[in-house]
Copies of this chain bind each other. A is one copy, B any other.
């Protein structure tokens, strides 16, 4: 099974590395980071660079596509090189997935029309404008489309999908090996749980950054 993780300038690192750490452990999987050009791709805060080893053109038909999000997603929403690749890869993929605002790219490519999907909580309204049906779930599976909520949710998405692909026992083994027994010191990880003032502050800011 070939797994392609798509990188673009100003992606969010954990969006990509969370599911990478889980899904690259599919037995026999070949995982490759792809981008328009090979070489280092810098993240949203410009202090991290992950290397794209192959171009999009080099990897035309992956079995599993993973699209991370991040503030850089906005600049890709009309990038036909990327959107065209997503459409073509999706035509033969077994699974097409995203984390965070990566789902907006799948939606912009026309792949989530009429489908249940999710995104970063601040992007759910935008997702709707592209014809998807946002849900409040952390991981949403609709057919072969698997979308995850914000940033860290890609780990849960990865484990869920790993169970489907490689079986529950293998997924549990990977959970144990990665010691994924989360114990956050706060309970503020969703807009329903976080202090209301924080939620409002982010909503106000997001009107200027998300589109």
* A interface residue numbers (CB < 8 A to B): 12-14, 17-18, 20-21, 24-25, 30-33, 40, 45, 47-51, 53, 100, 120-121, 138-139, 149-153, 155-156, 159-160, 163, 168-169, 171-173, 175-186, 188-191, 193-195, 198-199, 201-202
Contacts and interface: CB of A to CB of B under 8 A. Distances in A.
Given A176-B188, A179-B121, A21 B13 contact: yes
A117 B169 CA distance: 30
23 contacts: A13-B17, A17-B48, A20-B48, A21-B151, A25-B45, A49-B51, A50-B50, A120-B179, A149-B179, A151-B178, A151-B179, A155-B184, A156-B182, A156-B185, A163-B186, A171-B185, A172-B194, A175-B184, A175-B188, A175-B194, A176-B198, A176-B199, A176-B202
Question: Nearest 9 A-B pairs (CB), nearest first?
Answer: A150-B179, A181-B189, A182-B182, A172-B188, A14-B21, A49-B51, A151-B178, A17-B17, A181-B190
A103 to B, nearest CB: 13
Contact of A32 (B47, B121, B159): B47
Contacts of A193: 181
